[in-house]
């Protein structure tokens, strides 16, 4: 794949490191990320709100919004592409405040999330929706960490290798979607 301006990054992702990213940058991400989607977010949010201990340390962590399909025998993972990030918008500002530094998903998000990325630092990354088989090949290890009862919605630890994503919101308030739509609106230019 011919990525422009590609950066190879390894997690944990500190907020200082995230300051180097600008919207439109391609990143090949390696290292540990945690999967979480609707139900896991709801549970994390409720634990934090009640002041209870969170099982996941969010400091410098990256969350990947995905609910993989089951692994076939002899494989570690089924398909594992991104799910729609906007469904997690309600929970995200609080998680960013708690130390979360990166999110990987697909699609536009609320103004609150965009502002929270700017306020607390970090980065919102997108990858290619629907490319579950392709992206799964860039996940090298998988471990279910907790809330196994949630099935595909449980929190898994993935170890990524050169997982392609693009910076959609950066720590400076940048919005890739807005910028790019303005550029390509009206078709051929």
Partner 1 sequence: MLKNTVKDLALSANFDLDKRVEKLIRKAEKQEISPNGKIALKIILENIKLARKKKMPICQDTGLAVFFLELGRNLKIDFDLTKVLNQGLREASREGFLRNSVADPISRKNTKDNTPAIIHLNLTDGNRLKIKLLIKGAGSENQSLARMLKPGEGIEGIKKAVVEWVQSAGGKACPPIFIGLGIGGDLELSALLAKKALLRPAGSKNQDPVLAHLEKEILEAVNQSGIGPGGLGGRFTALAVQAEKAPGHIASLALAINLQCWAHRSAEAVL
Give the interface with partner 1 as residue ranges (CB under 8 A). 1-4, 24, 26, 39, 66-72, 78-81, 83-84, 86, 106-108, 126, 128-137, 151-152, 164, 166, 176-177, 180-189
Alpha helix segments (H runs only) across the chain: 15-18, 38-49, 92-97, 111-120, 132-136, 176-184
Distance in Å, CB of 69 to partner 1, minimum: 4
- Is 38 buried (19+), middle (13-18) or exposed (0-12) by CB count in 10 A? middle
Q: How distant, in Å, are the alpha carbons of 1, 132, 182, 184 from that of 155?
A: 30, 18, 37, 37
State the Cα–Cα distance between residues 4 and 135, nearest whole angstrom: 19
In the bound state with partner 1, the residue whose beta carbon lies nearer, of 48 and 131, is: 131
In the bound state with partner 1, the residue whose beta carbon lies nearer, of 111 and 186, is: 186
Distance in Å, CB of 99 to partner 1, minimum: 27
CB 140 within 8 A of CB 33: no
CB 61 within 8 A of CB 101: yes
In the bound state with partner 1, the residue whose beta carbon lies nearer, of 60 and 127, is: 127
In the bound state with partner 1, the residue whose beta carbon lies nearer, of 15 and 153, is: 153
Distance in Å, CB of 48 to partner 1, minimum: 20
Distance in Å, CB of 19 to partner 1, minimum: 22
Active site residues: 41
């Amino acid at each position: 794949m011919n990525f422009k301006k590609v950066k190879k990054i390894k997690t944990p992702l500190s907020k200082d490191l995230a300051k180097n990213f600008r919207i439109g940058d391609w990143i090949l991400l390696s290292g540990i990320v945690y999967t979480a989607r609707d139900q896991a977010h709801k549970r994390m949010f409720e634990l934090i709100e009640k002041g209870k201990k969170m099982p996941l340390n969010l400091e410098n962590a990256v969350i990947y919004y995905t609910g993989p399909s089951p692994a076939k025998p002899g494989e570690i993972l089924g398909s594992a592409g991104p799910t729609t990030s906007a469904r997690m918008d309600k929970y995200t500002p609080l998680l960013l405040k708690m130390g979360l530094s990166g999110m990987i998903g697909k699609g536009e998000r609320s103004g609150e999330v965009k502002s929270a990325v700017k306020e607390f630092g970090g980065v919102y990354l997108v990858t290619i929706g629907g490319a579950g088989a392709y992206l799964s090949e860039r996940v090298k290890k998988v471990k279910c960490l907790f809330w196994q009862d949630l099935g595909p919605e449980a929190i898994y630890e993935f170890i990524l290798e050169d997982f392609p994503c693009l910076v959609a919101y950066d720590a400076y308030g940048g919005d890739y979607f807005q910028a790019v739509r303005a550029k390509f609106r009206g078709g051929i230019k």
